[in-house]
Amino acid sequence: MRISEKFSELKKKKEGALIAYICAGDPTPSATKEYVTALVRGGADIIELGLPFSDPTADGPTIQAGIERSLNGGMTPDIYFRTVASLKMHIPLVVMTYYNIIFKRGHEKFVKDCAASGISGIIVPDLPPEESGDLAGFCRKNDVDLIFLVAPTTTDERLKRILAEAKGFIYLVARLGVTGARSDVASSTRELIQRVKTTTPKAVGFGISSGKQAAEIICAGADGVIVGSAFVDIIASGKDVPARLEVLARELKEAISLG
Amino acid sequence: MKRELKSTKFGKYGGQFVPEVLMPALEELTEQYERYKDDSVFNEELNYYLKDFAGRPSPLYHAKRLSKEYGVKIYLKREDLVHGGAHKLNNTLGQALLARYMGKKRIIAETGAGQHGTACAMAGAAFGIKTEVYMGAKDTVRQRMNVYRMELMGTKVIPVKGGSQTLKDAINEAMRDWVANVETTHYLIGSVVGPHPFPTIVRDFQSVIGKEVRTQIMEKEGRFPDSIVACTGGGSNAMGIFHPFIEDDVDLFAVEAGGSGMKVTDKEALHSATLCTGEDGVLHGMRTKVLQNKYGQILESSSIAAGLDYAGVGPELAYLADIGRLKPCNSMDAEALEAFNDLCIFEGIIPALESSHAVAYVKKVAASGELGDIVVINLSGRGDKDLETVMGMRK
């Protein structure tokens, strides 16, 4: 399913999108299907599935640890695409990885593997638009959305350039810093949501962990929330994981369903 | 070879592979550096600190006994005599001053051996800027005296426990800090690595080494050397001495750490010979040669010299190696230790284990004639920090 279809479907239902991140292969490749299924059962609208990289500089300690568990569990890009293909989801799947993994596999092969395994979007936190030309070309050819990030520090001039190339949704970075669960919503987050004027859906990530925060962000004008560390924390605990993933997904989804 | 600062690349290498949060900071840094690099007030102040604080120019010393022993005329560029005991202060003074001109209130840095961190601590104290240094937990143990030195000068040292607990992980953590505090903080990168404009800025501030050599060797020999040899981890001392000679008929040798062998597994390399054996990749904001496995996961590198222990290398070095302007080579741990001993015995100089790799390469190939008649070795640092390591190896 295309990301844009999902967002227009949710818009009709007056629901915000819940984009749930976990790292594939955390803690083992075989666990992923069960966890993703639990998130979808809880109400996740889009799954952002991490493909682990050894040096994840944009991620905080929680997701770093998840990535480490995944790599130690033997996850590789080959296993990743096989796992994704086996999921057979009826909602959009997005891959989140670092640029060297894509670069090493080759832009064309990576994008084709995405398309073939049912992935509809790619997020690369260390690939700003300036360096994204090659990858963007193959994404267009294969109907895969290359999703760009916008940060509170992004200047208006850069914002214009990014919005012009935006596909799927715009990933708004809620605050300066790396990923990781926090308890409040920064005023800079609201300002950023207001500042980004576009018809492309806006999803906010970095630091969201509760239904209350998620609701505030949707009320502030965002079309979706991206939640990662709070789910990865549950996986890290190793206790009752699928059930608790489902419960948290449901809490978040209910909080952003206004219709 | 002259390159506009606006271009972010050296051939296909370099670039800016960083989170969007940092892009405006890199644009600001590029603009501000452009503004100050030829500014007379900025340069006057920097030159004052280089001379009266750092002790520049550093001598170019004809190592007579070592020359006789190795069979080639050897000059040592004595960066080990620079304040702090390494070339690192050239860059930290430049960048810390730039940070002050830019109005940044805080400096963060990564450090491997602790030399760059120490040099940051010195510059931070001299300019009164709050300084915090990330250091791999493993490195804080093997270089604990440098940790203490930094702390004495008011710098906070933050041990990094993630990953391999070495330089690569310290860079990761410093980048995370920068992402969170980019508005008030300058990330003072210690080598010719990272996203543009860092490789250019660090190279320019280190080029004082090569510029001095040009004058000094003309005074002593009336001509340029046949070759220049420098150890290479990230490559800052190498680029510093090479860059002013790029257009000249001088052979350049970048000596990497051969570690304990060329063996590589899926997770680690027993060496840090990135230019010699690495493949194209993207790490720490730059496209360059990288030690990685077939999936693009970065390998843990290895070397007896913490300052060379890095899975990447400066993008300009990768470019110069590709076009054949410099020759990548390497020395093993054991060869570096031998050269370390030679310099102690024959010259009364205790060199850093990093610099010992350059000396070891000269020892290995001098007889072949590859280096010509006159060679300049960049003696990038002194070895006081390595005494415990050497004592351990000798047991």
Q: What percentage of chain A exceeds 90 in pLDDT? A: 89
CB distance B90 to B391 below 8 Å: no
Q: What does chain B come to in residues?
A: 395
- Cβ within 8 Å, pair B20-A128: yes
Residue A73: CB partners within 8 Å, gap ≥ 6?
A25, A26, A27, A28, A29
Q: Which residues of A touch B180 (CB under 8 A)?
A: 176-178
Query: From residue B319, how far is each of A31, A101, A178, B343 by CA, in Å?
Result: 43, 22, 32, 32
Q: Give the strands of the sheet with B156-160, arranged side by side.
A: B156-160, B130-136, B106-111, B185-187
Which has the minimum average pLDDT: A87-101, A225-239, B160-174, B177-191?
B160-174
Three-class DSSP category at B12: coil
Which token pair is B132?
Answer: 């915090």
> What pLDDT was estimated at residue B2?
43
Q: Does B106 touch chain A (CB under 8 A)?
A: no
CB distance B154 to B121 below 8 Å: yes
Mean pLDDT of chain A: 95
- Cβ within 8 Å, pair A176-B182: yes
Which token pair is B357?
Answer: 């790799």
Using only C-alpha atoms, chain B has a radius of gyration, in whole angstroms, of: 19
> What pLDDT was estimated at residue B1?
39
Run of H or E including A130:
none
CB distance B376 to B213 below 8 Å: yes
How far is it, in rounded angstroms, from Cα B22 to Cα B178?
8
Which token pair is A59?
Answer: 């991620």
> What pLDDT was estimated at residue B369?
96
Q: Does B392 touch chain A (CB under 8 A)?
A: no
Q: Does B12 touch chain A (CB under 8 A)?
A: no
The Cα of A101 is separated from the nearest Cα of chain B by a number of Å equal to: 5
The Cα of A27 is separated from the nearest Cα of chain B by a number of Å equal to: 17
Residue B152: CB partners within 8 Å, gap ≥ 6?
none
Which token pair is A128?
Answer: 């700003």
> What pLDDT was estimated at residue B5?
63
> What pLDDT was estimated at residue A185?
76
Pick from A54, A100, A173: CB nearest B282: A100
Query: From residue A13, how far is each of A16, A255, A256 by CA, in Å?
Result: 9, 14, 11
Q: Which residues of B touch A101 (CB under 8 A)?
A: 295-297
Tell me the longest C-alpha to C-alpha distance in chain A.
47
| pLDDT of A174 strictly over 90 | no
Q: Which residues of A touch B183 (CB under 8 A)?
A: 153, 176
Which chain B residue's Cα is nearest to A72?
A: B267
Residues in chain B, pLDDT under 70: 1-6
Residue A234: CB partners within 8 Å, gap ≥ 6?
A241, A244, A245, A248
**Phi (first) and psi of residue B300, to 5 degrees:** -80, 125
Which chain B residue's Cα is nearest to A174?
A: B21
Among the listed residues A181, A161, A159, A158, the one whose alpha carbon sits nearest the alpha carbon of residue A227:
A181
> What pLDDT was estimated at residue A259?
54
The Cα of B163 is separated from the nearest Cα of chain A by a number of Å equal to: 8
> What pLDDT was estimated at residue B163?
77
Q: Which of A45, A48, A145, A223 is catalytic?
A: A48
Run of H or E including A209:
none
- Cβ within 8 Å, pair B176-A76: no
Q: Is A33 exposed, middle or buried (0-12, 13-18, 19+ CB in 10 A)?
A: middle
CA atoms within 13 A on the CB side of A82: 8
> What pLDDT was estimated at residue B41?
98
Q: Does B265 touch chain A (CB under 8 A)?
A: no
pLDDT (mean) for A99-122:
98
Q: What does chain A come to in residues?
A: 259
Pick from A53, A99, A173: CB nearest B20: A173
Pick from A55, A101, A158: CB nearest B172: A55
pLDDT (mean) for A174-200:
84
CB distance A31 to B139 below 8 Å: no
**Beta pairing partners, A204:** A172, A225
- Cβ within 8 Å, pair B20-A162: yes
pLDDT tens, position by position, A140-164 = 999 999 999 999 999 999 999 999 9
| pLDDT of A26 strictly over 70 | yes
